[in-house]
Each structure stands twice: as structure tokens, then as C-alpha cells.
Structure 1
Amino acid sequence: MKVAVYYGKDDIRIEERERPTARGGEIVVRMLASGICGTDIMHWYRKRKAPYVPGHEMAGEVVEIGPDVKCLKVGDRVFVSHHVPCYSCHFCKAGKYTACETLHKGNYWPGGFSEYILVPAENVRYGTIVLDDTVSLEEAVMIEPFACVLEAYKRVEPQSQRNVFIIGSGVSGILHILYLKHHGARVAALDISKERLDYAKRAGADRVFSTDEFSQEALKDVFDGRFPDTVVVCAGAIGAIKTAMETVERRGTVLMFAVSKEDIPIPSVHFWRNEISILFSYGASPQALNEAYELIKSKKVDLGWMVTDSFPLSEIAEAFKTASLGGRHLKVICRS
């Protein structure tokens, strides 16, 4: 079978590997669509794992099941989560599933950018969703990134989700806007790209700012003369993080949904005197994945339009270059 192997920046190669076989509670899935995540093109973050097969936003068709699998059949279209918790450790028992060591270490093999994927029994049991016929492949690849957004808001107090400022209007930023507007929040968005701001408007943002026109006073005008209760960082630039820390209301929250290569300086005295919280969010629990799927299936949230570019697996190098361009290229996916 063909797989895409990441060796480094601008170095992704199509190679041949032996197709896996399902045993026990495992399944083999033929990849139909796999999304490029923003972290896939964070080369400083990914190079430590090279060479490896990336891809963790995968939907496909079950082509083989192990003898112990009773919940699925050959031909099912499925979404498969790459990370699942163990449900038995200290963190899982406390409901803190994204802190589970099993969740952090587990994965399907060899990765989402492969013609065929071997799904471990744990991922079959806890991380596989049979897709309704009404759910498109474009929507299916958005389940995991959207679930990460839902997971993040489980950590933000509900009263702090009413007035929100999104810094960075790429895929993550747009997903935050869509989620927040679904719940009736007032949302402002900031980005350097006009095309990305157009996407933010389409997602329902009440006000968008380019970096050239942005000011703190203009932001306050959106929220009745006050700063937003929550500022979400969806861009890894230090400048974006600095802006977030300067524009959050007293007793507000800075939600770090993106990370920078460098450690971030925190104005501790300012945060202390104004009781500002800073939160980080990683990954998604099975519960958030199911919630995301139900919102997508019910068409309460429309995500399919976010897929702007589609490439065959054989052209994955070009797909990664396109995803790195930003601008009008929002969500880029590969198909088998």
C-alpha cells in the first residue's frame, strides 16, 4: 500500500508499505479522506518524530474486521479517532480524559495519510463512529478538530463564553466562531489575511479586524465598552499571544488553543491584580467527539464548506505546501 512519510519541511515522500491485517478486536480501514491539521505543518513540532506517517483526521471505509469485532461490518463508512483514553487511570476516573497517558501515546497505524490504516481494538471500541449517509467526507474530517474546540469550552466557565475575541481566523479560529455563534455568543475576530476575515464573517463573527485597523478601543466597542471575557489564541505568533493578554477583561480567561515555538512571557502582576486565568487545551475526549459528530450530523453546525482544497494522496507534498500558504486555503484534505 502507499503511505506518505514525513521526513522534514518540504520533504514528504510516497512510499510502499505492507498492508496490515486485522486480528482480535482490530479493523482495517481504507482511507477515503484525511485532513491536514495545523500541527501537521508546525515543522518545529513535528521534526522530532520524523520519519513518520502523519495524519489524525481520518474518515474511511471498513475493509476488514478482526474475529472479535461485533459492532462494525465491512463496508461501513467510519470516522476513527487516533487518541482514546484507557478509562481506568487516575485521570480517566476523574473525567480528565485528555490527561490520560494512553490517550497521549495511542494511535492507529501507520497514520492517516495512508491507503489503509490498522485501527487498534481500543480505538475501535472507544474512538470509531459509523457515519450516517447524510454526513459527507468533508464533514467527517472536521469531526476531530471541531471536537477539540468543544473540549476546550468544557474548561471555560459558561458566563465567560458570552463575549469572546478570537485571534487568528484559520481553521481553528473559524471552528471557535461557529461553535460560539451556535450558542448565541458575541464574537469578534482578528487576522492578518483578508480572505481569512471573509471566512470569519461567513462563520458569523459580529465584527472582524485586520491587524492594520485593530485597536483596543474598537474592540471594546463590540462588547459595550468592555474587553471580552474570553480571548482565544488561535495563532502561534508571540504578537498574537501578547495581544490576547492585553485585551482580556478582569477575571477573564485567555484560552491558548495554539502554541508558539518559544515559551511565552506572562505579565504575572497584571494577571494577579486582575484575576485573569490562562488555560491550555489539548485534544478531545470521546464525549467531545460524539458531541461534535451529533452537531455535524444534525446540520446544526455547517462545517463542510471549510474544506477548500482536495488532493489525491499521491500529491500530498503539494497538499502540505498549499496548507502552509494560508489565505484562501482554509482546510486542505487528501483523498485516496
Structure 2
Amino acid sequence: MIITAEQRRARILKVVREAGTIRVIELAERIGTAAVTARRDVAALAESGLIRRSHGSVSLADEADSSATHTARERVVGMLVPTVGSYFDEVIEGARAAAASAGARLVLGIAPYESADDRAQITQLLDAGADGLLLTPNWHPANGSAEAAWVRELPVPAVLVERLATPDSAAAELDSVGSDHRHGAVLALRHLRGLGHASVLLVAREDTWTAHQVRVGYAEGVRLLGLQPHPVIDIHRPTLESAGVAARISEAVGQGVRAVLVHNDQEAIQVAPLLRAGGLRVPDDLALISYDDVFAALAASPLTAVAPPKRAVGATALELLLRRLNGGYELPVHHIQLLPELKVRTSCGGGIGEEAG
């Protein structure tokens, strides 16, 4: 027998009244429905002020809760990221600051690259009472966003962060906020072209979403700017093999290349002294631009770098999600791409502190 959402929610209220406080997983078992459906119903009942959610459990709201507007309750935003300690620190900080300004609370989940742990982390965030989600899924570049079918089951609004689903993906109709990394790559190439370089080498990872977008932007920039094309030097993880990468860059220099774009800062900082040991000085013999601008300014010779607007991405995604949660359900889907800028330092001949956009 198929029951309606109203009937399910009436059952939920009955069980919560009897139990007092109950975990969402147990509640789903008691009413005989899927956990994701129970979470969706619980979110709707909490939105109406009939029940209260806290750390994966639900309880009956008291009269004071029921009479208060939902906007008076602290919003809880779950944020899924693939790593901390580098690029995403600034994205998280942007979201955290925006949440604090809006009176919301940010709860973090981490699903490391290649862990296939996205859904388990999201379940934990939902059980912690997340009203909405900021998601950076572990989508492998080779698969596009084909792994995203599970987003159809999300019981709360979600915004993709530094990810953009393909048009045929189940996630294509999710809001998204990210850096335009293709533009960032072209920005670097345009700067080097303006310095007189007719060819630019790309050294890049191949296992992350950002690296894939940088590669696409590089190919577009080479074509648009009339640069001489070169095969990309791949950086394989988890071992960088810096000496091998430096040797291949030196070989390209021997063929006339005098400029290189490296994704990302960690790789660029490790490669630069190896090039010097081999007799190549930056920027005298080789102009070098790093991509990410997390640690680039801290290199022994500060690196010119493409700087994605990391904090702004986090803040914009958080603000968009809160608009959805605070009544903006009729808004059209937003796909927001923020443009990186170029921080010109000494590694391609510019002066420290100069900026070019």
C-alpha cells in the first residue's frame, strides 16, 4: 500500500510523541521507510516548527519553538570537501565567515581524494541536522560527473562548490559556485604571451577536477593566442618525482621553450630549485607561473601565480544556499563562475606586489 507524504509525516509525529527523542535512522525503521525519505520528511516537519533536529536525532518541538519563525532558528550547513590544509582551507574560511555573519553554523565533512566516501560523509552531515549542503564531490575527471546519480536522493537543498556537473548529469540542476579555471589558465598564457613568449609548457596533475579544467583552459589558450603547442608534462600522484619533471622541463627549454605554467604551488615550489641545480634560473632562463596561489608567495623566489577567488567561492556558495533555505525555492538554478586573477611576482620578471587582472 502506497502512503502519502502527509500520512508518513503524521506517523513520524506520532512516533516522536511516543519516543520523546529518537534517532532518524531508528525513526525510519519504525515507520518502515527509507532513511533518505525519513530525512526529507523530518526536514519538512522541522521547517514547519513541529519537531526539532539535533545531531541526528529528532524530538517534539515545544510551544515556544512552534510559535517562533524558522528563520529565528540557527541554520546548520553541512560542507563536504576533499581535503583540508591547502586550497580548500580558504574556501572553508569564506563559507565559515559568511555563515557567522548570517547567524548560521557550518559543519564540516572530509572525504579524501579517491576515498569513495562522499555518501557516508553526507549521511553523517544530515544526521548532524544539516538544513542544506555545500558539496565538493570526488568526481574523477575521466568520469565527468557520471558518479552523481545519488544527488537525486538528497533530502535538503545543495550547492556544488568548485564543481560543475555536465549537462547530462543528475547533478546538472543543482546550484553551483566555482572558479573559472579555464579562464585562469588563459590568463596566465596571455600574460606570458605579452612578455614575448611564443610557446608555454604546461606541467600539471591529472587526477583532480581543477587540474582537468586547467588542462582544458591551456588547450583553449594555446589555440586562441596562437602559441606553439606542446604535450603536457603529467604529474603523477602520490609521488611527484620532481627530478624527472625538472628533467623534462629542461629538455623543453633545450628545444626553445622559455615559459612554463605549473599546477599547482606544491609542485612548482619543489621543481624550481631542481631547475636551478640543473643550470636554469627563474626568471632569467625560464619564466614560471604557478596555479592556485596558496603557497606561491612563500617560495624562495616568490612565484607569479593564478589566484582563484577561493574565499569568495565559499562565501558565495554559502549565501546562495541560505537564499534557498530562506524561501528562495523558486529561484532559477544558478551556475556561478568567479574569475581568477593573476598575482605577478618575481618568477616571470614582474616586480613583487604588482597585480594584473
| TM-score, normalised by the number of residues in structure 1 | 0.37
Greater C-alpha Rg: 2
Which structure shows the higher strand fraction? 1
Which structure shows the higher helix fraction? 2
Q: Considering Cα pairs closer than 8 Å and 6+ residues apart, tell me whether 1 or 2 has the greater RCO.
A: 1
